[in-house]
């Protein structure tokens, strides 16, 4: 909902932080796409998705987004986007795979429909909030908030898993 609204906070970073233009925005999105491809390749080579892997991908995304939010240089920021793209793909592809493999055959389509509705709908709802945060506090804060929320959610998920095992 918040962390995956790249077009919103990358536009704000390009224009307001790096005083760039459409070309620089395109460079940032392209570098992030390279990371996404790497994440897809890594995920494709894994045997089965696990909640632990998904949690660690979300933690990595959160930490990298927090670091990216304070990077002062355009090219170093762009490099961090490669890692953000990779961790995003590791997370989203693994979540989709785990849900597809876990859902019973007769309800799999409905489960996937709910997953897609919440992920696409969440981004649509989160976009204006990310934009509001960027306008109010700055683009760096918009990225930091997305990273912090991803990190917090992943840590709460891991805590819940540990509680269930006990």
The pLDDT value recorded for residue 58 is 94
Kindly tell me if the per-residue pLDDT of 83 is higher than 80. yes
From 24, 131, 151, select the one nearest 87 (Cα to Cα): 151
Whole-number average pLDDT of the chain: 91
31-57 CB burial, b ≥16 within 10 A, e <16? bbeebbebbbeebeeeeebeeebbbbb
Checking if the pLDDT of 82 tops 90, the result is yes
Question: Is pLDDT above 80 for 10?
Answer: yes
Between CA 18 and CA 74 the distance in angstroms is 7
pLDDT of residue 118: 85
Q: What is the pTM of this model?
A: 0.90
123 band by pLDDT with thresholds 50, 70 and 90? confident
- pLDDT of the residue at 120: 81
Q: How far is CA 99 from CA 28, 50, 115, 128, in A?
A: 31, 10, 8, 28
Give the pLDDT of residue 69.
96
161 or 34, which is more confident? 34
pLDDT band at 6 (very low <50, low <70, confident <90, very high): confident
| Region 7-18 average pLDDT | 92
Phi and psi angles of residue 124, each rounded to the nearest 5 degrees, phi first: -65, -40
Checking if the pLDDT of 114 tops 80, the result is yes
At the topology level, CATH places domain 6-165 in Growth Hormone; Chain: A; (1.20.1250)
Please give the pLDDT value at position 29.
95
Can you give the pLDDT at residue 47?
87
Q: Assess whether pLDDT exceeds 90 at residue 126.
A: no
On the question of pLDDT at 149 being above 90, the answer is: yes
User: What is the residue-wise DSSP string for 50-104?
Assistant: -HHHHHHHHHHHHHHHHHHTT--SHHHHHHHHHHHHHHHHHHHHHHHHHHHHHS-
């Amino acid at each position: 909902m918040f962390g995956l609204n790249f077009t919103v906070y990358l536009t704000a970073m390009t224009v307001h932080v790096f005083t760039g233009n459409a070309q620089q925005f395109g460079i940032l999105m392209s570098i992030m796409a390279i990371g996404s491809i790497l994440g897809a390749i890594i995920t494709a080579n894994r045997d089965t998705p696990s909640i632990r892997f998904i949690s660690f991908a979300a933690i990595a995304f959160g930490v990298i987004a927090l670091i990216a939010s304070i990077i002062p240089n355009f090219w170093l920021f762009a490099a961090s986007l490669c890692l953000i793209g990779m961790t995003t793909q590791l997370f989203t592809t693994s979540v989709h795979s785990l849900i597809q493999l876990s859902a019973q055959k007769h309800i799999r389509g409905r489960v996937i429909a709910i997953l897609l509705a919440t992920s696409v709908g969440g981004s649509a709802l989160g976009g204006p909030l990310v934009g509001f945060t960027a306008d109010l506090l700055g683009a760096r804060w918009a990225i930091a908030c997305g990273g912090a929320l991803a990190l917090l959610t992943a840590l709460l998920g891991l805590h819940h898993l540990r509680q269930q095992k006990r």
